[in-house]
Structure 1
Amino acid sequence: MAIFWPDLDTEAAGANLRKSIHFARRALGVHDLIQLSNDVVALAPGEDLEIDTELFEAAQKVALGSKEPGAHERAADLYTGSLLPDDPYAEWLNGPRSRLQQLYAELLRAGSLWQRLIVLDPTDEQAQCALMQAALDAGNRGEAIRQFNQLRANLRAELGVGPSAAAIALYERALALAGAEPESPSDQIRASLAWGLVHLQSGAFDKAGEIARQTRDLALGAGLAREVGEASALLGLAAKMQDRWRELFRSEFIEWVRAKPTFVQQVFDGHLCLSEFCLCSPSGHGYVAEQARELRAVAVDAGSTAGAALASLLLGEAALFSGELDQAEQFLEEAERLLREADAVAGRVLALERLAEIALERGQNWRANRLIQRGLAEAERSWLSPHLVMRMQALVVRAAPTPEKAAEAILAGDRLLTNGACQPCSMALRTASVIALAEAGELDDVDRRLSEAERIAGMWHGGPWVAALWEARGVQRRAQNKEVRALAAFDEAASRFEELGRPRDQARCLARMETPN
């Protein structure tokens, strides 16, 4: 009972246990299959039970010590997927579920079952490199290139994560195979981007920035829009690691709106995540608003629709955070119109996201849902869709009309929170999920979710996400009937929001304090 209901006293946990046994018996249709005697619950005592996890673990252990062909594959066939997937929020399942998955991965690695390992973890470089090597050994240049591009896509260049030097070397071997077709510009550009990411990860930020600029020039010449954006993202990440992204963004913005090249919007897309990151910094959104006003004037003077749209988006977001909903709506509607004219998908989705937030603030859920659906549909068109869909899914959770719909939205959101997900872009979804679960009384998994969100919020060293998690912690404490601790958490959140110049967020936390459980 302490595992299943750690926050309940013995009497309340016992009542939950008896209720659970009642429903389990009814579902099974056989009363005596589950027996309760004093403090012991037994399943089919005296019967021979066959348990799938035990069968898998036994077969896995045998296979690891076996040299028999096919032993690893036969054992792997016994792994039927994640443990009890219909109960994703039960915290007590996290340990057993993770352990079984690790045993499965160990088995696949030992048996060189690389395709299955990639299904389990698409970012596993050992598996991808093994398949690339096998393709090269078979003279299948195209398959080796396909595997590399799959790995590169899964690792996500815009997050600063790319293939290892070993994987890039295999890719370049595939490109250089004798008798093969000449290396295409896109192949050369992808290899260059991958090397730039290697330098970024090794701390050679100047070199990474140099490669990013060279690669972007190549991509512009080849007409490769996505690669222009990825190279811009790499350049921005290198600058951020040197604490000079704001200066870079300003100079890039002015240079590109005046030059007005074909792919100016892709250049801006490469900076979107970093601009959103800065909006949530401890210094607040005031600096971003000040810079955006300057840049908007530059864009209007240069006749750049894309530049004016991006500046209006930033001004709208800053006004929203400042609690000025009417002004925010005006800027964001202008931004959405200009971004639609420029076919700037990623920026438009962000504008729709913020307009939906305003609708939720005003209690206009019907309008928020329309904006959310438009945003989700548009997000699928962008190379930044993993970021954008995750952000919109946070609003799906917030706008859910019932706890049941919220649970469905949270489960859909959990599928987006993969190992390679953008952590800053995941914060709204993580926070909304915690609050929705706590308000519904589903507390089993809240602590784990909060701990993970708090780890990510540490990237900002303060700021609104830290305040939001204090608020979420307060909702959790209230659901646990720990009112004193809940009030303290809400008070801390309100104080932090006040310091950041976010009056509506502050007012919401104060209102929570005035409506005790």
Structure 2
Amino acid sequence: MRLFIQLLGRFGVRLDGEEVPSIAWKRDRAAALIKLLAVSPQHRIHREQIMEAFWPDQDVELAGANLRKAIHFARRAMGTQDLITVTREIVAFADEVQLETDMERFEAAATQALRSGDPAECEAAADLYGGILLPDDRFLEWLDAPRERLQQLYAAVLRKGRLWRRLIALDPTDEEAQRALMQAALDAGNRGEAIRQFDQLRERLHAELGVGPSKASIELYERALALSGAEPASPAERIRASLAWALVHLQSGEFDKAAELARETRAQALGGGLAREVGEAGAVLGLTAHMQGRWPELFRSEFTEWVRSRDEFVPSVFDGHLCLAEFCLCDAKGHAAIARSAQELMCVAEDADSVAGRALAGLILGEIARCAGDLEEAETHLNEAERLHAGANALSGRVLVLERLAEIALARGQKWQASRLVQRALGDATQSWLSNHLLLRLQALAVRAATTPEKVEEAILTGDRLLTPGACQPCSMGLRIASAVALTQAGEMEQVDRRLNEAERIAGMWQGGPWAAALWEARGIQRQAQSNKVRALAAFAEAAARYEDLGRPLDQSRCLERMAAVMPAAGA
């Protein structure tokens, strides 16, 4: 009996050359058992290890019964009872099974290629890597070690074989690979390709890690700009080099230098009519101000100045402050002071006849009203803000307005309306240069608005694909928590703790905002599903208190209602 299991890029099983249809794996635990056996050494594992991996919170008797069911359904899915054996507590594939996995095939070829160092062997081994190990199971802890080992092995093969483009496809932030291609382009006299490669590196580092290129990469880029006999560097190209140096200063803790260079760069971008570069320079200014504890003051003064002088650049400046605004402005304490500032901004915008300024002020006023629990006032502000953002062609601002309107729909229990608003926002989000931030936020709402188990599963899988290692942390929090809550409500508890632990790690890096409260609420939902009523009550109480402290009465009331639902059972 020949059995082939595909694990890289997707899960698939072929038995004697025939593909086992995907519908046969409708029992998740049956598929999980096959996957666990496939990645385990010698394809055998003690039953207690399986029970600990799959049902860590269940007692031995119940976990044992679940394991017997999983074995039964795995055998049935593959149409034979003889494929999986249980001997002396060891679960394994039968001795007569001729088993091969694409994972083992790749590992053997990669190990040989690294030993020989032959570029042809490296390329052949790399061709066997079909993708990340079981990509639809990203949050299963028992897959972490083999997945990381395989990715490191693949990267080592690519590096040994100098397969730089494929290494960049694996990790676009790999500066050694990017610089190697830049240098190769310069050696070939292709200055434009070297510049394009640097721009790609700069954008991916900023998008995924929130940092800039290293000094070595910037210096190589500047050599490309200064290449003799070539066309002079364009203003945009020179500005990108300056922005990269500003980020180097920022990462080194030289905040004053970073701010000074960002201001100079923004002035150059403004003079050249480069809206995106204006926004990027503003982002560096915002980060330096945040590090120095003075972002709110900068935000207010910046927008008052820009609304009065260069209205057409207001959306770009706001784009630069997008993530900090999410963290520091809309969901922080001090709603009254923020509302006064927004009213002042509205007056300035009206005096200056600034459509973009009025749109921004309306967005802030709508968000303050939403947080304060006045959904009708919030909706009025936000509907007008959407119209104004559309008139100002401010894509990211309009996406944020639609996001907040979807939040209101969900607060009213109107999932269909929230889903419709998310769909309306997706078009603008994908066109924005901030799409990697905006799509994370919208996907969190898509998870919460899903109306069937199938749609919930699809929304979570889509969201997981957006959660690359360098995904924007503030923008990812809503998605991480929404997915954990949805899985808990669906009874899929295995991945919940892992997701919430990761969210807690990120929240600990960004003190403040509503995330801690949302995490406590999610923990309460988790504990309630685990029938741990005492801890559920404590978590809901903590969440309610934090929401009250943030001035969010609707969220507070929801947590108090959750407490009331738990309390009768707790007293029983």
TM-score, normalized by the shorter chain, greater than 0.5: yes
Partner Cα separation in structure 1 for residue 121 and residue 301 of structure 2: 60
* Structure 1 runs, 4 residues or longer, greater than 6 Å off: none
- 1:407 aligns with 457
Partner Cα separation in structure 1 for residue 148 and residue 475 of structure 2: 25
- 2:269 aligns with 219
Aligned pair 1:381/2:431, yes or no? yes
Aligned pair 1:263/2:313, yes or no? yes
Unaligned runs of 5+ in 2: 1-50
Pick aligned residue for 1:351 from 397, 401, 418: 401
Kindly report which structure 2 residues correspond to 1:57-456, keeping only aligned pairs within 5 A, or say none: 57-156=107-206, 160-279=210-329, 283=333, 285-456=335-506
Partner Cα separation in structure 1 for residue 399 and residue 527 of structure 2: 34
Amino acid at match of 1:438: T
Partner Cα separation in structure 2 for residue 213 and residue 258 of structure 1: 18
Does the CA contact (< 8 Å) of 1:281 and 1:460 recur in 2? no
Amino acid at match of 1:439: Q
Does the CA contact (< 8 Å) of 1:280 and 1:465 recur in 2? no
Q: Does the residue aligned with 1:331 lie in a helix, a strand or coil?
A: helix
- 1:504 aligns with 554
Once the two structures are superposed, what CA deviation does each residue of 1:226-253 show, in whole Å capped at 9, x if it has no partner?
Answer: 1111111111112111111112112111
- 1:405 Cα deviation from its structure 2 partner: 1.1
Q: TM-score, normalised by structure 1?
A: 0.95
Q: Does the residue aligned with 1:177 lie in a helix, a strand or coil?
A: coil
Partner Cα separation in structure 2 for residue 495 and residue 431 of structure 1: 19
Q: Does the residue aligned with 2:431 lie in a helix, a strand or coil?
A: coil
Partner Cα separation in structure 1 for residue 318 and residue 84 of structure 2: 61
Partner Cα separation in structure 1 for residue 257 and residue 128 of structure 2: 48
Partner Cα separation in structure 1 for residue 517 and residue 319 of structure 2: 28
Amino acid at match of 1:482: N
Structure 1 residues 284 and 162: CA distance shift in structure 2, 3 A = same
Kindly report which structure 2 residues correspond to 1:3-22, keeping only aligned pairs within 5 A, or say none: 3-22=53-72
Structure 1 residues 232 and 159: CA distance shift in structure 2, 3 A = farther
Does the CA contact (< 8 Å) of 1:282 and 1:464 recur in 2? yes
Q: Does the residue aligned with 2:333 lie in a helix, a strand or coil?
A: coil
Give the aligned CA root-mean-square deviation in angstroms.
1.9
Unaligned runs of 5+ in 1: none
Once the two structures are superposed, what CA deviation does each residue of 1:162-185 show, in whole Å capped at 9, x if it has no partner?
Answer: 111111111111112222122111
Does the CA contact (< 8 Å) of 1:158 and 1:230 recur in 2? no
- 1:293 Cα deviation from its structure 2 partner: 2.1
Alignment length, in residue pairs? 517
Partner Cα separation in structure 2 for residue 389 and residue 148 of structure 1: 25
Q: TM-score, normalised by structure 2?
A: 0.87
- 1:87 Cα deviation from its structure 2 partner: 3.2
Does the CA contact (< 8 Å) of 2:331 and 2:371 recur in 1? no
Does the CA contact (< 8 Å) of 2:207 and 2:436 recur in 1? no
Does the CA contact (< 8 Å) of 1:193 and 1:212 recur in 2? yes
Partner Cα separation in structure 2 for residue 212 and residue 239 of structure 1: 12
- 2:22 aligns with none
- 1:281 Cα deviation from its structure 2 partner: 6.0
Deviates most, 473-482 or 142-151 = 473-482
Aligned pair 1:31/2:81, yes or no? yes
- 1:302 Cα deviation from its structure 2 partner: 2.3
Partner Cα separation in structure 1 for residue 310 and residue 124 of structure 2: 59
- 1:90 Cα deviation from its structure 2 partner: 2.6
Structure 1 residues 366 and 491: CA distance shift in structure 2, 3 A = same
Deviates most, 43-52 or 485-494 = 43-52
Does the CA contact (< 8 Å) of 1:158 and 1:233 recur in 2? no
Once the two structures are superposed, what CA deviation does each residue of 1:418-443 show, in whole Å capped at 9, x if it has no partner?
Answer: 23321111111111111011111112
